[in-house]
Structure 1
Amino acid sequence: MRSLSQSMKVVAVAAVVGTAIPVVADSTPGIGATPAHADVVSRISVTGNTRVDAETVISYLTIRPNQNFGAADIDASVKALFDTGLFADVRISRSAGGLVVAVTENPIIARVAFEGNSRHDDRVLGATVELQPRSVLTQAKVQSDTQRIQELYRRTGRYNATVEPQTIDLGQNRVALVFNIDEGPRTEISKISFIGNTAFSDGRLQDVIQSRESGLFGWFRTSDNYDPDRLNADQEALRVFYYKRGYADFRVISAVADFDRDQNAFFITFTVEEGAQYTFGDISVETTLPELNVDELSGTARTRAGNVYNSEEVEKTLEDLTLAVSSKGYAFAQVRPRGERDYENRTISITYFIDEGARTYIERINIVGNSRTRDYVIRREFDIAEGDAYNQVLIDKAERRLKNLNFFANVRITAEQGSQPDRVVVNVQVEDQPTGEISVGGGYSSEAGFIVQVSLSERNFLGRGQQVRVAAGRGEDTQTYDLSFTEPFFLDRRLSAGFDVYRNAIGDSELLHPFDEVITGGGLRLGVPLTDELTLGLNYKIFESEITDIRGAGDANGGRFTSGTDPISLTNPNLIEEGSRIVSSLGYSLTYSTIDNFQMPREGIYAQFAQEGAGVGGDAQFLRTTAKVDYYQELLPEWGVIGHVGAQAGHVMGLGQDLSYRDTFRMGGDLVRGFENAGIGPRDRSSGYALGGEMYVGGTVETIFPMPILPSDYGFFGSFFADAGTVWGVDSGTVASTGADVIGDDASIRASVGFGVLWQSPFGLLRANVAYPVLKDDADETQLFSFSAGTRF
């Protein structure tokens, strides 16, 4: 409407001015046209302006004194003045040989306020709108900011939110701008449906996407709000999921979000076409570069003939081959996969073709959208820099790394022509997302009783990519304090370095801890990635353990130990040594991991071998060795049934001195479920106190499946498991020095079977187990029910 009004004003002014232009008839015979001569003004004056100088107004005009002008010039001048955004009205007219420009200035915003908002505070809304105090008010910007606020609410699940702008005249051409907001009820995702899927169930596919149905736990999260960007990400997640599992022809036909205004809810429907599942056929490497050894490069390929087709393995093979060829001096070499489908046998043969690519350099890397994360945190994820040879494979690798950081809601990398034909500008567009987390958790253990822990963590501290965690916990007889810091790029290299500081005060628990103990310590650590899957860890640890108030004979039960529910009273004063002790150790670990998700693994291997040697100062001298491996595989992918096999073992020995009881392995339910903490292995006969052992070995077989009846969105899983293991080997010197009467040290296997319930809760993975021991020793302590948080790694 405003543009139509302005156009009418321009036409009217042009008509008035045009009538004042003198017309002279042409005397040429036979020609009846009488064209108008262009007008000339001697001066230009401005009226109505209070803030804007007259010279500034005149500078925007296309009309100049003593120069010819016409209606088109008036039209252009009026448009130019309106385009400045400074004026609400503009009129141009002739007066006594001069030109008068009458303007009405737009008001100045004295303040911007928001009314009716509770989901977003004024600070967030103020950063969303473009108009700010002391800026010029225009209706176009008001409407634009109104739409910005509505979009903010829509992205946070308030699709019925309305925004009404209001201006309050404060005099002297100043106004207050108020956005009256009606946030409306929360708009949820009522139902997510899949059409066309046969290889995987709806519940399994819902685990793949980020969008969630609103339900019992909807108020814990925001992923049950409809977000068009999230819907696009869900489609890509489905493609990646299918491509990694051999469905190379998979495609998302449509992803539709229908909004029901009556229910104030969205109904999302994914229509997919799965296609056939393929395996890898022949794998080969070809090149036009004569100095490259094709046989050597073929060994670099991760794809293997006969395996199920996996697009991720193809991508990583491209990266590995690109780096291998670049290391041989071919900076511009390009590696391209060439796939050949055999529809009858359902195989895809891959040929990795290597040739000399175009000599194109990276002119500049532009980073936009990072309001919090520092530029260098993003740049260091690139294996190439400005001035290097441009390689699309390495660009794709950087994009994958940036997404894996989980710092950003969106990551998009594009390339455009640079200043010269052989130059490319790389544009990195990101959107920061919250990276802090506050968690409150609780639990129960037979040794410490009820425990409550509060932790604050930040994985992108001050936008530097650093990880910080502070935690404090309290139980019936325990107090714990922890601080950890990790720098993922130590010395500007892909090395992770960090430190840990902690203090644990453990009181007399009346069951397995018949003394007070305070442990204060810390450590330094360094992680060195050897490959994408293999990491070398180095560490130094030091802590002081101080034991006081040992409960002696006669304090409880007359010094007799009869069952796991009776308190321990030590009849042997030499069994536990009172006082302080410092342990200083150096250690290393080799960790191999292809786990897809550490919270709820479905596929992959996790293996670790570690050794720790104490004796770098301190009071203890020992060598501790541990090893473990866990393997996860989807047994019935269509239903989300997971198989898990694990094994672990350990050995500790004294170095030049007897092994202290404090350094032995005290294990129970963490080795074989169905047993108390420290419930397995050697004990003192008179008190039942766990002495621990020099060696342990254990294994588990488990099947995990979605809980029937319950909606998959609730995140409940069940499991059947069988565990077996043992702890044995009391140091003979320790027995001689303490006079312990050892029982349960025959290395006999303990075993249990049971059922577990897992919940992917908003607080993390929680697990409850009911286990029945089928093999045990008379000295062991059993526990039918146990509760834990996190995955057993």
Structure 2
Amino acid sequence: MLWGTNAGKSCGGCRSRTKMLYRQVSAISLAVALGFAFAPTFAEAQNYQFNSVQVEGNQRIQTSTIVAYTGIERGKTVSAGQLNDAYQRILDSGVFETVELVPRGNTLIIKVTEFATISQISFEGNRRLKDEDLLGLVESAPRRVFNPSVAERDAANIAEAYGAQGRLASRVTPRIIRRSDNRVDLVFEISEGDTTEVERVSFVGNRVYSDRRLRRVVETKQAGLLRALIKSDTLIEDRIEFDKQVLRDFYLSRGYVDFRVNSANAEVTSERDAFFLVVDVTEGQQFKFGQISVSSEISEADSDTFFDALRVKPGVIYTPLLVENSIERLETLAIRQGIDFLRVEPRISRNDRDLTLDIEFVLVRGPRLFVERIDIEGNTTTLDRVIRQRFKTVEGDPFNPREIRESAERIRALGFFATAEVDVREGSSPSQVVVDVDVEEQPTGSLNLGGAYSVDDGFGVAIGLTENNFLGRGQRLSFNISTAQDSEEYVFGFTEPHLLGRDLRFSLDLGVSETDSSFSEYDTKRAFITPSLSFKTGENTLLQVRYLWDRDEMVSRGDDSNGDPLAGPVVRNEIGQGELSSSSVGFTYTYDSRITGLDPNAGFLVQLGADYAGLGGDNEYVKTTAKLIAQKLVFNEEVTLRATFEAGALSWLSNDSSRSIDRYILSTNVMRGFEPGGIGPRDQSAIGTTTSNYDDFLGGNYYAVAKFDAEFPLGLPEEYGMRGGLFYDIGNLWDLSNANTTGGTIVGEGGSFRQTIGFSLLWTTGFGPLRFNFSKAIKKESYDKEQSFDLTIQARF
């Protein structure tokens, strides 16, 4: 019963809902029908046809120009989408602040508001960067249309420039000041902020090299008490990226082929006024060269001959530089043998068990490409030939990519250009290439003002005028004046690095000098001229041949207050010879193993020289010198060990006697712990019947000195530039053959070896290198003149 009642009620509700649904369907059908009926009329409302176009609000821009921006033709049907495109084209022109398109029947009205014109640009709040420097960073310019987006870019560029100086908190806000006639003044308000210092640079993961050693590698330095003298203690992103690369190069050159920089994170201090830079590294294992071999895929290239040309040996610590040098050596040998297009492919096999890398240098035939021409652009001052001299390749030669890369480095090394880019592109045919050189000139002249101090010569001033690219010819012209308390020198110099277009350096120096040393009882005057030629005789060797003409004399200082001569009888004999001239030829041969040495932490330098005087002039002699320097870095390259040996011999051939200024006199640069002339033969003749004696140093015909140095860190931050040193010197100066010793009382002619020990403080400052030497002679003669302290300062600014 209950179910039936409910069923009846339900059926009545169903009829009611059916009537409602019928009414809704009828309404929807009517709407759809009306929609179809009026659809053509709606579509036609979105198309336009304009017989005229009116522009309102333009002041500087011509109406025809704005109409041209729209691209709308009179009388032609335009859709709503095309009208929107016209609006966008006008807006994209960048000269209007607002744009509005209003269709009115057959007329299109364009309403615009032009951007104002910039009257002037100014900067406020800048002290570190000058206005002229900032103007070079902005795109906005006076008499141009002001564009807000461009001004924002300008502000970002200025902020980036401050960030490059470590001022990461700098803020730049562009403001406009409206003037009459739709003009504005653009003002960049600058808040420079403080420099963001790097309080500490630390490394994680380094086991072989200490933090102190790695800090010497990277450019980013820690801030310290002397931060005013350094500019590398600010946090700069580009510098950090550079530091990552130099760390890779440092480890890779020492055989750590798996080295990588995992991260370099800058963490702000709790005071938020500085950063901690933490560099996470993985060093890996050190590899050495294993088996070295050469194989040839070219019939005319004998692998044994090329193998004999290699210098790298098994067991040497691996470095990519030695591989590059070996490839260059083999390709150079191929050129000498007339084998064109030979390329060397190094194939490396890794042996993880014994930590070695086997290198097979494979000689293959490269692509047959020729250099069609070398195009040089941007050199407004430098002559083309100066740049072409950096290339060993000329037009028509086989193309060698390695030689082109090395030529680019030689061009940059000239120092004549701010930028120098060398690119290669295809020439007139696939078998030819064109080398493009694009350079940007920079100033090459300099005026150097400097000061100097030494215990030997006192305070002095140095003035130098130098032009390294004289008349764009790549020649060096210089004039230097050096004046000290006890000496003066004026020298003119000229250098032609490529005489007659060859790798032959010609130099000419001429000058005059005077000395008034407090260590001698006479003055000297000298005039000289010396031309020389220098050229490489091998990969590591250089030969210089020279001619020297000089005229010099010893000048008496007169008598003392008692009427006695200041100089002893031997020196007076030499003064009595007056002006004498010498005409000599000589050479210096230099071998430097550091250029292509197998050990980056060790090397030695050998110099041998000889001069013969007798080609005219008053004097005739043979003078020979020798120098040997060996150096090695130990204890993670933090300690430098250096041994130096110097020797010289004078064989006097003239009928006249030699003078003190002709013989060797040891300065403090040669033998530490003694005054200049402090060791060697001396004249100690008595003065009349008094107890006073003369005490003149006379020099010697022979000398030999050995010096041993150890330089080490003092535990101070590396950026302070302070290092310590210990040294031991042993040397001798003897013999007065061919000297006129009449009337003199000579001591020390036979000579004896003196010995000195000492401590050095080496300080590299913003004013120049300072060296403090504290020494003690542990073996000497009673007549020697000690000098327990020596300070040398040389500054250029």
TM-score, structure 2 as length reference: 0.83
Name structure 1 gaps, 5 residues minimum.
Answer: 1-24, 560-566
Q: Distance in 1 between matches of 2:147 and 2:580?
A: 74
Q: Distance in 2 between matches of 1:178 and 1:368?
A: 38
Cα deviation, 1:471-493, whole Å, max 9, x if unaligned, reads 54443343344554545455554
Q: Report the counterpart of residue 708 of structure 2 in structure 1.
A: 701
Q: Report the counterpart of residue 248 of structure 1 in structure 2.
A: 257
Q: Report the counterpart of residue 609 of structure 1 in structure 2.
A: 608
Kept in 2, the 8 Å contact 1:668–1:680? The answer is no
- Is 1:35 matched up with 2:47? no
Q: How does 1:211-230 map to 2 (within 5 A)?
A: 211-230=220-239
Q: Report the counterpart of residue 302 of structure 1 in structure 2.
A: 311
Q: How far off its partner does 1:338 sit?
A: 1.2
- Is 1:726 matched up with 2:732? yes
Q: Report the counterpart of residue 628 of structure 1 in structure 2.
A: 627
Q: Report the counterpart of residue 644 of structure 2 in structure 1.
A: 646
| Equivalent of residue 751 in structure 1, options 748, 752, 755 | 755
Q: Report the counterpart of residue 182 of structure 1 in structure 2.
A: 191
Q: Structure 1 residues 111, 464: closer, same or farther in 2, change over 3 A?
A: farther
For structure 1, which segment, 285-294 or 692-701, has the greater mean C-alpha deviation from structure 2 after superposition? 692-701
Report the residue type matching 2:534 in the other structure: G
SS in 2 for 1:305: coil
Q: How far off its partner does 1:538 sit?
A: 3.5
Q: Structure 1 residues 305, 183: closer, same or farther in 2, change over 3 A?
A: same
Q: How far off its partner does 1:400 sit?
A: 5.1
Kept in 1, the 8 Å contact 2:197–2:274? The answer is yes
Q: How far off its partner does 1:635 sit?
A: 2.2
| Equivalent of residue 403 in structure 2, options 368, 388, 394 | 394
Q: Structure 1 residues 773, 637: closer, same or farther in 2, change over 3 A?
A: same
Kept in 1, the 8 Å contact 2:115–2:146? The answer is yes
Q: How far off its partner does 1:310 sit?
A: 2.2
Q: Report the counterpart of residue 778 of structure 2 in structure 1.
A: 774
Q: How does 1:70-149 map to 2 (within 5 A)?
A: 70-95=79-104, 97-149=106-158
SS in 1 for 2:674: coil
Q: Report the counterpart of residue 285 of structure 1 in structure 2.
A: 294
Q: Distance in 2 between matches of 1:172 and 1:463?
A: 50
Q: Distance in 2 between matches of 1:138 and 1:700?
A: 70
Kept in 1, the 8 Å contact 2:551–2:582? The answer is yes
- Is 1:712 matched up with 2:718? yes
Q: How far off its partner does 1:39 sit?
A: 3.0
Report the residue type matching 1:87 in the other structure: F
Q: Structure 1 residues 770, 302: closer, same or farther in 2, change over 3 A?
A: same
For structure 1, which segment, 278-287 or 474-483, has the greater mean C-alpha deviation from structure 2 after superposition? 474-483
Q: Structure 1 residues 253, 326: closer, same or farther in 2, change over 3 A?
A: farther
Cα deviation, 1:440-496, whole Å, max 9, x if unaligned, reads 4432224x3333545576767899876666654443343344554545455554444
| Equivalent of residue 277 in structure 2, options 268, 272, 291 | 268
Kept in 2, the 8 Å contact 1:322–1:393? The answer is no
Q: Structure 1 residues 205, 168: closer, same or farther in 2, change over 3 A?
A: same
SS in 1 for 2:73: coil
| Equivalent of residue 442 in structure 1, options 448, 452, 472 | 452
Cα deviation, 1:216-253, whole Å, max 9, x if unaligned, reads 33212322233322222222222222222222222222
Q: Distance in 2 between matches of 1:412 and 1:232?
A: 22
Q: How far off its partner does 1:719 sit?
A: 1.8
Kept in 1, the 8 Å contact 2:699–2:733? The answer is yes
Q: Structure 1 residues 750, 117: closer, same or farther in 2, change over 3 A?
A: same
Q: Report the counterpart of residue 22 of structure 1 in structure 2.
A: none
Q: How far off its partner does 1:290 sit?
A: 0.8
Q: How does 1:362-511 map to 2 (within 5 A)?
A: 381-384=390-393, 389-398=398-407, 401=410, 440-446=450-456, 448-453=457-462, 471-482=480-491, 484=493, 486-490=495-499, 492-507=501-516, 509=517, 511=518
Q: Report the counterpart of residue 30 of structure 2 in structure 1.
A: none
| Equivalent of residue 783 in structure 1, options 772, 784, 787 | 787
Q: Structure 1 residues 465, 124: closer, same or farther in 2, change over 3 A?
A: farther
Cα deviation, 1:555-601, whole Å, max 9, x if unaligned, reads 47956xxxxxxx8666863232475444444433222224489xxx9
Report the residue type matching 1:444 in the other structure: S
Q: How far off its partner does 1:602 sit?
A: 6.0
Aligned length: 749
Q: Structure 1 residues 578, 160: closer, same or farther in 2, change over 3 A?
A: farther
Report the residue type matching 1:606 in the other structure: L
Q: How far off its partner does 1:289 sit?
A: 0.7
Q: Distance in 1 between matches of 2:729 and 2:339?
A: 53
Q: Report the counterpart of residue 740 of structure 2 in structure 1.
A: 735
Kept in 2, the 8 Å contact 1:49–1:105? The answer is yes
Q: Structure 1 residues 602, 246: closer, same or farther in 2, change over 3 A?
A: closer
Q: How far off its partner does 1:381 sit?
A: 4.4
For structure 1, which segment, 372-381 or 385-394, has the greater mean C-alpha deviation from structure 2 after superposition? 372-381
Q: How far off its partner does 1:295 sit?
A: 1.9
Report the residue type matching 2:777 in the other structure: P
Q: Distance in 2 between matches of 1:292 and 1:536?
A: 32
Cα deviation, 1:331-351, whole Å, max 9, x if unaligned, reads 432212111122121211111
Report the aligned-residue RMSD.
Answer: 3.9
Q: How far off its partner does 1:146 sit?
A: 0.9
SS in 2 for 1:166: strand
* Matched-pair identity in %: 33
Q: Distance in 2 between matches of 1:617 and 1:275?
A: 66
Kept in 2, the 8 Å contact 1:744–1:780? The answer is no
Q: Report the counterpart of residue 576 of structure 1 in structure 2.
A: 575
SS in 1 for 2:661: helix
Report the residue type matching 1:209 in the other structure: V
Q: How far off its partner does 1:77 sit?
A: 2.7
SS in 2 for 1:208: coil
- Is 1:64 matched up with 2:35? no
Q: Report the counterpart of residue 762 of structure 1 in structure 2.
A: 766
Q: Structure 1 residues 743, 322: closer, same or farther in 2, change over 3 A?
A: same
Q: Distance in 1 between matches of 2:254 and 2:379?
A: 34
Cα deviation, 1:351-399, whole Å, max 9, x if unaligned, reads 1112012335668889999999998877654544677655443344346
Q: How far off its partner does 1:101 sit?
A: 3.4
Q: Structure 1 residues 646, 334: closer, same or farther in 2, change over 3 A?
A: same
TM-score, structure 1 as length reference: 0.83
Q: Structure 1 residues 377, 160: closer, same or farther in 2, change over 3 A?
A: farther
Q: Distance in 2 between matches of 1:363 and 1:262?
A: 63
Q: Report the counterpart of residue 519 of structure 2 in structure 1.
A: 512
Q: Structure 1 residues 694, 773: closer, same or farther in 2, change over 3 A?
A: same
Q: Distance in 2 between matches of 1:109 and 1:147?
A: 19
SS in 2 for 1:157: coil
Q: Structure 1 residues 539, 608: closer, same or farther in 2, change over 3 A?
A: same
For structure 1, which segment, 243-252 or 429-438, has the greater mean C-alpha deviation from structure 2 after superposition? 429-438
Report the residue type matching 2:630 in the other structure: Y
Q: Structure 1 residues 521, 379: closer, same or farther in 2, change over 3 A?
A: same
Kept in 1, the 8 Å contact 2:285–2:355? The answer is yes
Report the residue type matching 1:711 in the other structure: P
Q: Structure 1 residues 181, 764: closer, same or farther in 2, change over 3 A?
A: same
